[in-house]
Amino acid sequence: MDICEIILDQHHQQRRLFAVLEEYPRDDVEGLDAIWRQLESLLELHAEAEELYYYPELVKLGTGAADAESTDEEVQDALKDHNELRDAIASVRKAKAGSDEWFTAVVNANTKNSDHMAEEERQDLADFRQQASLELRHEIAVRFLKHVAQHQGERVSGKNKDPKGYLADKQQEGTTETERAAAEKRSQETAERVSSDPEPSVKATESAS
């Protein structure tokens, strides 16, 4: 499994469900509402799982890809897009399924999501494929899919996040982990030097002779 492929697969599912809503009989309000609720859950779970498992790793490893100036820009833009998408989803919830207002809100959500997916595929995913190991991509995919499966079908009330605050938090976490890894490496190197040195008693004997 590869988180990059999982994200692309879910993007395809989202595009297909929006297309279904465009083609579905407009007089079947019950069906329209059921399909939207399926799509709504997928959209919010997808965004939440990315924020929990994917973007934190992108912050640590990314360098910026395609037309992105930096990884910071990629991540902050993605969080901003998620916030706008959540607001658009909330507007759909407020309208009566099948009404003109409801369809207008659905089209707005589709527009916000389409713009986000295109940018994420062009920048974020390309950046991560270039920097992340296959092992890490597999590990994130497992955690991502578990989260989505555990909450599948739920109406997730995702909360908007401050893009700059989120980025600062993840950068700090990355710094802490980097420092911890460096300390562990220094400790291991010290232990290896000690184990390779002769015992003090041997040194003293050699010096006396």
Task: Write down the pLDDT at residue 197.
Answer: 59
- Could you tell me the two tokens for 62? 């990314």
pLDDT level of residue 185 (50, 70, 90 thresholds): low
Average pLDDT, the chain: 85
Structure tokens given for 97: 């399924």
Better-scored residue on pLDDT, 164 or 21: 21
pLDDT at 168 > cutoff 60 = yes
Q: How confident is the model at residue 192, as a pLDDT?
A: 61
Is pLDDT above 60 for 181? no
pTM: 0.78
Contact assessment for residue 92 and residue 36, using Cβ atoms and an 8 Å cutoff: yes
C-beta separation of 21 from 106 below 8 A: yes
Please state, as a whole number, how many other Cβ atoms lie within 10 Å of the Cβ of residue 87.
Answer: 13
The pLDDT score that the predictor gives to residue 205 is 47
Name the residue with higher pLDDT: 45 or 174. Answer: 45
Rounded to 5°, the CA angle 140-143-149 comes to 135
The pLDDT of residue 171: 84
**Residue type at position 71:** T
Tell me, what DSSP letter sits at residue 209? -
CB-neighbour burial class of residue 134 (10 A; exposed 0-12, middle 13-18, buried 19+): exposed
Residue 119 to residues 64, 73, 126, 141: CA-CA distances in angstroms?
12, 11, 10, 20
Mean predicted confidence (pLDDT) in 180-209: 52
Are 17 and 42 in contact by the 8 Å Cβ rule? The answer is yes
Tell me: pLDDT of 193 over 70.
no
